[in-house]
């Protein structure tokens, strides 16, 4: 059965770091699709700055017409915190025999033991980790043990079983982050070439990040 990558994030806003990683993994790991899944209320961090509707619109615009990219807004429809384990349980119920792969950056992977019912995640899906600049794979602690037990370098393993393996994938290192983009915009500078023009247009038209960053209070209207 064809494998599905699941790419969750705040996407506040979505940028080329997300899009390029997703695209490279879609191709290299032979996923049939990558599902972008904007989260509602992230349990581990500050609430998003842009509204759920705007974040969804930016993800839809950024991925429109791209074969293999799908947007799934189920986490935005739920109330309460967006736990990956709940989303994966839902997807597992829908796609009983299909390999699922949760795609996360190395920074997110290092925080995995703090996630709600984190050990259950690997019973529902594989975990595919994208290398991110400045972050190293753990060799100690619970994640080091998990990697020793579940880690694989074989792409075929992600297709042979439905869940349970961890694969670390080298993606082109693009040192772009949503928080830096928000600060840039808040400081009155342009985020062009860090994200698609369609996303830039939404940011300009909505003014959603105008108050972000150090200068936000001094430019008040």
Binding site for ligand ATP (CB under 6 A): 9-12, 17-18, 21, 104-105, 107-108, 130, 132, 174, 176-179
CB of 12 or CB of 162, closer to ligand ATP: 12
Separation of CA 102 from chain center: 9
d(CA 153, CA 214): 43
Give the shortest CB-96-to-ligand ATP separation in angstroms.
26
CB of 129 or CB of 163, closer to ligand ATP: 129
CB of 1 or CB of 189, closer to ligand ATP: 189
3-state secondary structure 79-115: CCECCHHHHHHHHHHHCCCCCEEEEEEHHHHHCHHHC
Of all residues in the shown chain, the one whose CB is closest to ligand ATP is 105
Give the shortest CB-203-to-ligand ATP separation in angstroms.
14
Query: Which distant-in-sequence residues (6+ apart) come within 8 Å of 94 by Cβ?
Result: none
The CA-based dihedral angle spanning residues 157, 163, 165, 170, taken in that order and rounded to the nearest 10 degrees: 80
Give the shortest CB-127-to-ligand ATP separation in angstroms.
11
d(CA 69, CA 186): 30
CB of 1 or CB of 111, closer to ligand ATP: 111
d(CA 27, CA 98): 18
Q: At what angle do helices 197-206 and 52-63 cross, to 10 degrees?
A: 160
Give the shortest CB-16-to-ligand ATP separation in angstroms.
8
Give the shortest CB-153-to-ligand ATP separation in angstroms.
19
CB of 1 or CB of 58, closer to ligand ATP: 58
Give the shortest CB-199-to-ligand ATP separation in angstroms.
13
CB of 156 or CB of 192, closer to ligand ATP: 192
Six-digit token string for 74: 């189920």
d(CA 161, CA 97): 9
């Amino acid at each position: 059965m064809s494998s599905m990558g699941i790419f969750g994030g705040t996407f506040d806003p979505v940028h080329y770091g997300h899009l390029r990683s997703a695209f490279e993994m879609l191709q290299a790991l032979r996923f049939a699709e990558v599902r972008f899944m904007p989260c509602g209320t992230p349990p581990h961090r500050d609430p998003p700055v842009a509204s759920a509707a705007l974040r969804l619109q930016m993800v839809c615009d950024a991925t429109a017409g791209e074969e293999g990219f799908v947007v799934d807004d189920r986490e935005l429809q739920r109330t309460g915190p967006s736990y990956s384990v709940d989303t994966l349980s839902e997807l597992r119920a829908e796609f009983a025999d299909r390999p699922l792969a949760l795609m996360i950056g190395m920074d997110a992977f290092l925080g995995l033991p703090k996630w709600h019912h984190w050990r259950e995640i690997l019973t529902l899906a594989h975990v595919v980790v994208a290398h991110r600049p400045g972050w190293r794979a753990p060799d100690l602690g619970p994640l080091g043990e998990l990697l020793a037990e579940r880690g694989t370098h074989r792409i075929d393993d992600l297709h042979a079983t439905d869940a349970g393996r961890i694969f670390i994938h080298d993606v082109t290192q693009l040192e772009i982050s949503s928080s830096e983009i928000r600060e840039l915009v808040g400081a009155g500078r342009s985020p062009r070439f860090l994200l698609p023009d369609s996303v830039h247009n939404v940011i300009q038209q909505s003014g959603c990040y105008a108050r972000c960053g150090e200068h936000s209070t001094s430019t008040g209207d």
